[in-house]
Chains A and B, each alone.
Chain A
Amino acid sequence: MAKYGLRTVALVYLLFLLVLPVGLIGWRTFEHGAGPFFDALSSHSALHAFQVTFTVALWAVALNTVFGIGAAILLVRHSFPGKRLLGALIDLPLAVSPVVVGLALILVYGRFAPFGGWLENHGIQVIFSTPGMVLATVFVSLPLVVRAIVPVLEEMGDDQEQAAHTLGANRWQAFRRITVPGIRSALAYGIVLCLARALGEYGAVAVVSGRLVDQTQTLTLYVEERFQNFEQPAAYAAATALAVIAIVSLLLTKLLRPKDGDR
């Protein structure tokens, strides 16, 4: 029957493309128990990579959350010429290859670029250092918070905010007591998406970090470096750790995703 045929085709495709590869890496990591996994992750370099990854990701998420809320309110609640264009510009990073992101940042903030050189003379090193990695991560995850909030803000309308104003609330009070609670779950959803993207970013960070072991090496860079150096257990362990983070954030987004008929 056609029904079983389609089901088989779909499931076999997913099995070989998705389930077997991801499952295999988990099995490879844990085939000798959890001990080697934790040993591999507690090496100095791995711990340092964790620390760099989280530092960069938290900065990027913080920046994009503030920007995301502001931009979403701007796009939904205000009107100005060029609004469509602003929306398109915010989505632009999704169309850019991570490597191009890295190159673009180097061309502006690198030591031999006018602006980067000027910054360096003032003691701020961007490329091959944390600020550059934060910039790269912000770039690739820029639209995620905005795009999570915009539909909810639209659907919420501004009636509740106006009601708050007529009841004596000023803008800040209306924002804090009405708007923020109204978009809470969408905001959390956007932040989780952004965080997952930030923790997992590889290409852009690979370019701007200079991949300096124990200095600018994030977890994803660590995976690649260990694998190329034939230290597969370490690479697999870090990859599994990243996969676990990805799966947890995936489950979180399932919980937080604004559903239809929520009201």
Chain B
Amino acid sequence: MGIEVRGINKSFGATPVLRDVSVDVASGSLTALLGPSGGGKSTLLRVIAGLEQPDTGTVVISGTDATRLSPQRRNVGFVFQHYAAFKHMTVFDNVAFGLQIRKRPKDEIRRRVGELLELVHLDQFHKRYPAQLSGGQRQRMALARALAVEPEVLLLDEPFGALDAQVRKELRAWLRRLHDEVHVTTVFVTHDQEEAIEVADTIVVLAGGEVKQTGSPHEVYDNPADPFVMRFLGPVTEIDGQLVRPHDIELSTTPEPGTTPAVIDRVVRLGFEVRIEMRLRDGSDHEAWAQVTRGIVESLQLEPGGTVHVRPSPAARSLAVT
């Protein structure tokens, strides 16, 4: 096991931030800690790194109990949300820092930093200062700096949180590829479920200081443990007291077993996909929506004012609203 977290409790003053949190991170995996702001995910990451001391519980990294080890002895690579670039050092010196602290020979440092800067595509920028880099470049420098010390585990706190949307998308794909190349056990924190699903092979959902669910992206998306996880991982709508993904709704022009009648309010065409917004006629007058293809709209001739009959697809997982 790469990281074993057992029974962590942590409070800031009187506010509990982590409650009896246990997480296993497999060696060589790429795990996302996903959850809303204030859910405790960053704190958990900092506990793993040793930047916070847990009130109770243990952290085992690569088979060694690290709970009482200071950050500098844990051999973790930590990438901070706002990069924590050493402003007074060049890119080269930033990346070389950990190796210099470890008193490695000069030529080894030069070689290793060169390799890493190549890996993160910053080899031409080694003489620049962080202020002369873009946000994405700074982030990659921070990553190279963390990787330079050949950490047991790589921890990233909202690694793309401070970047604009386009750069985020690029860096996500890049992080996935990088992980395939270096295979270091990696944990990253994010509040963006799309990011977690796209990048991670395991997702741990944290909310209110508790682990809500752990599993592959496919598992947590399709088999959410509770309504909270379901809502957090993707769009939901409510039909007949059930939470359903809008793309898991079957529509028909005639009543079928288990269907509910609904009046169409709006038909929103978003390219290939179409949003059908409707009002349920089951006595509740609830608003609901379905995500369908253009083909279905055309074959069923769906138009505002028309009536449809809807039900959750039998193959899909739905959850009772509670």
Direct touch of chains A and B (CB < 8 A): yes
Q: Which residues of A are in contact with B by a Cβ distance under 8 Å?
A: 159-160, 162-170, 173, 177-178, 181-182, 184, 263
Does B71 count as interface, using CB distance less than 8 angstroms?
yes
- CB pair B86–A166 under 8 Å, yes or no, is no
In the assembled complex, the Cα of A160 lies from the Cα of B138 at a distance in Å of: 13
- Write out the residue numbers on chain A whose beta carbons fall within 8 Å of the beta carbon of B49: 166
Q: A167-B149, A168-B72, A182-B88 are in contact. Are A162 and B101 (CB under 8 A)?
A: no
- CB pair B84–A165 under 8 Å, yes or no, is no
Closest to B71 in A: A165
Does B102 count as interface, using CB distance less than 8 angstroms?
yes
In the assembled complex, the Cα of A163 lies from the Cα of B80 at a distance in Å of: 8
Q: A159-B84, A162-B51, A182-B87 are in contact. Are A173 and B101 (CB under 8 A)?
A: yes
In the assembled complex, the Cα of A162 lies from the Cα of B146 at a distance in Å of: 12
Q: How far is the CB of A17 from chain B (nearest CB, A)?
A: 41
In the assembled complex, the Cα of A167 lies from the Cα of B49 at a distance in Å of: 11
Counting contact residues on chain B (CB < 8 A from A), the size range is 20 to 34
- CB pair B72–A169 under 8 Å, yes or no, is yes
- CB pair B102–A165 under 8 Å, yes or no, is no
In the assembled complex, the Cα of A159 lies from the Cα of B49 at a distance in Å of: 13
In the assembled complex, the Cα of A170 lies from the Cα of B72 at a distance in Å of: 6
In the assembled complex, the Cα of A91 lies from the Cα of B221 at a distance in Å of: 57
- Write out the residue numbers on chain B whose beta carbons fall within 8 Å of the beta carbon of A169: 72, 97, 101
Does B82 count as interface, using CB distance less than 8 angstroms?
yes
Does B140 count as interface, using CB distance less than 8 angstroms?
no
Does B253 count as interface, using CB distance less than 8 angstroms?
no
Q: How far is the CB of A158 from chain B (nearest CB, A)?
A: 9
- Write out the residue numbers on chain B whose beta carbons fall within 8 Å of the beta carbon of A167: 72, 97-98, 101, 145-146, 148-149
- Write out the residue numbers on chain B whose beta carbons fall within 8 Å of the beta carbon of A163: 78, 80, 84, 86, 142, 145
Q: A167-B149, A182-B88 are in contact. Are A162 and B72 (CB under 8 A)?
A: no
In the assembled complex, the Cα of A168 lies from the Cα of B78 at a distance in Å of: 11
- CB pair B88–A181 under 8 Å, yes or no, is yes
Residues 217-247 of chain B, each 1 if its beta carbon lies under 8 Å from chain A, else 0: 0000000000000000000000000000000
- CB pair A165–B72 under 8 Å, yes or no, is yes
Does B162 count as interface, using CB distance less than 8 angstroms?
no
Closest to B130 in A: A263
- CB pair A159–B101 under 8 Å, yes or no, is no
- CB pair A168–B87 under 8 Å, yes or no, is no
Does B207 count as interface, using CB distance less than 8 angstroms?
no
In the assembled complex, the Cα of A151 lies from the Cα of B172 at a distance in Å of: 36
- Write out the residue numbers on chain A whose beta carbons fall within 8 Å of the beta carbon of B145: 163, 167
- Write out the residue numbers on chain A whose beta carbons fall within 8 Å of the beta carbon of B74: 166
Having A159-B80, A168-B102, A168-B149, one finds 9 other A-B pairs with CB under 8 Å, namely: A162-B84, A163-B142, A164-B86, A165-B70, A166-B51, A166-B71, A167-B98, A167-B148, A169-B101
Q: Which 8 interchain pairs have the tightest Cβ spacing?
A: A167-B98, A159-B84, A163-B84, A166-B78, A165-B71, A181-B88, A168-B101, A165-B72
- Write out the residue numbers on chain B whose beta carbons fall within 8 Å of the beta carbon of A181: 88-89
In the assembled complex, the Cα of A188 lies from the Cα of B155 at a distance in Å of: 36
Selected contact of A162 from candidates B73, B80, B102, CB within 8 Å: B80
- Write out the residue numbers on chain A whose beta carbons fall within 8 Å of the beta carbon of B159: none
Residues 73-95 of chain B, each 1 if its beta carbon lies under 8 Å from chain A, else 0: 11111101010111111000000
Selected contact of B146 from candidates A159, A160, A166, A182, CB within 8 Å: A166
- CB pair B86–A178 under 8 Å, yes or no, is yes
Q: How far is the CB of A166 from chain B (nearest CB, A)?
A: 4
- Write out the residue numbers on chain B whose beta carbons fall within 8 Å of the beta carbon of A162: 51, 71, 78, 80, 84
- CB pair A165–B51 under 8 Å, yes or no, is yes
Does B131 count as interface, using CB distance less than 8 angstroms?
yes
Enumerate 15 A-B pairs (CB-CB under 8 Å) in ascending A order.
A160-B84, A160-B87, A162-B51, A162-B71, A166-B50, A166-B76, A166-B78, A166-B146, A167-B101, A167-B145, A167-B148, A168-B73, A168-B98, A168-B102, A181-B89
- Write out the residue numbers on chain A whose beta carbons fall within 8 Å of the beta carbon of B84: 159-160, 162-163
- Write out the residue numbers on chain B whose beta carbons fall within 8 Å of the beta carbon of A160: 84-87
